Amino acid sequence: MRQRLAFALGYLRNPRHVGAIAPASRALAQAILDEVLRNDARVLIEVGAGTGAITRALVPALERLERFVVIERDPGFARLLSTAFPGLEVLNRCASSVDQLPLHAHDPVTVVSSLPLLSMPKAEVQKCVAAILLLMAHRPGSRLIQYTYAAPHLRPFANIPYGWRWRRVASVWANLPPATVWSLEQTPRGISIVH
Ligand SMILES: C[S@@+](CC[C@H](N)C(=O)[O-])C[C@H]1O[C@@H](n2cnc3c(N)ncnc32)[C@H](O)[C@@H]1O
């Protein structure tokens, strides 16, 4: 209940950046956890964590991780996340700085993004997407898991680098609004895809 209230207040503070009227449902958070557990990257980075509905579901993945970094630009949400998850690295900053994180070179990362790409200012979307792609570029086996509220066939963003593809992971109807979970990952060798 408190989480919902905090979320609604965050939405009133900044509707374009929050981009949804309710936190992620358990069904959506579970779909994302299932996808995170599909590979063995030992660094997990969540961007745009809001009130932590997905963060909470991802905590069980901690036992197989070396690092779990949470990035949230809203100071009120970031405070809430630091209090709720004292064991995680919560950073109150823009996701466009994700490529500056001090990480071991070449270690694969999984990025989970709740960034509302359709409602955020375009220039900010470009900076955040560029930083995420740069972070993943030299780390084979990295993935971006992004969910959207758009029509299920619409990919989160276009102009992805050669050798990468979007895979639709799940449609989650039990969410307000219904969501589609996508994974941006390297194309398996031998398959060429026209974007
Ligand atoms: C859809 S809400 C997150 C919902 C979250 N999964 C939950 O259920 O509480 C999007 C979040 O992204 C954050 N955000 C928006 N732009 C951001 C940016 N450039 N960098 C980091 N966080 C950002 C917003 O402050 C908001 O908390």
pLDDT in tens, 163-173: 999 999 999 99
Q: Which CATH number covers residue 59?
A: 3.40.50.150
**Domain tally for the chain?**
1
Pocket test for ligand 1, best of 1, 3, 4, 17 (most atoms within 8 A of CB): 17
Residue with more model confidence, 7 or 96: 96
- Give the model confidence (pLDDT) of 57-103 as tens digits: 999 999 999 999 999 999 999 999 999 999 999 999 999 999 999 99
Instruction: Say if CB 70 and CB 49 are below 8 A apart.
Output: yes
Domain assignment of residue 176, yes or no: yes
Residue 138, in any domain of the structure: yes
**Domain carrying residue 165:** 2-186
Which of ligand 1's atoms lies nearest the C-alpha of 48? 12
Edge-to-edge strands, sheet with 109-113:
89-91, 67-71, 43-47, 109-113, 143-148, 179-186, 164-172
94 Cα: distance to centroid of ligand 1 (angstroms): 10
**Distance from residue 120's CA to the centre of ligand 1 (Å):** 10
Could you tell me which residues are beta bridge partners of residue 74?
none
Give the per-residue pLDDT at 152. 85
Q: Using a pLDDT cut of 70, give the percent of the chain over it.
A: 96
> In terms of pLDDT, which residue wins out, 17 or 30?
30
What pLDDT is stored for residue 193 in this prediction? 53
d(CA 158, CA 5): 34
Confidence of residue 4 (pLDDT cuts 50, 70, 90): confident
Given a cut of 80, whether residue 191 has pLDDT beyond it is: no
Ligand 1 contacts (CB < 6 A) are 7, 17-20, 23-24, 47-51, 53-54, 71-74, 77, 94-95, 114-116, 120, 124, 128
Residue 87 lies in a domain: yes
Nearest CA to ligand 1 atom 24: 18
Q: Is residue 195 part of a domain?
A: no
Domain presence at residue 54: yes
**Cα–Cα distance measured from residue 144 to residue 185, given in angstroms and rounded to the nearest whole number:** 7
Atom of ligand 1 nearest to the CA of 124: 19
Find the mean pLDDT for residues 30-59.
96
Residue 32 belongs to a domain:
yes
Kindly state whether residue 105 falls inside one of the protein's structural domains.
yes
For residue range 124-134, list pLDDT tens digits in order. Answer: 999 999 999 99
Query: Whole-prediction pTM value?
Result: 0.93
Q: Is residue 191 part of a domain?
A: no
Determine the residue of 3, 74, 97, 125 to mutate for testing ligand 1's pocket, defined as the one with the most ligand atoms within 8 A of the Cβ atom: 74
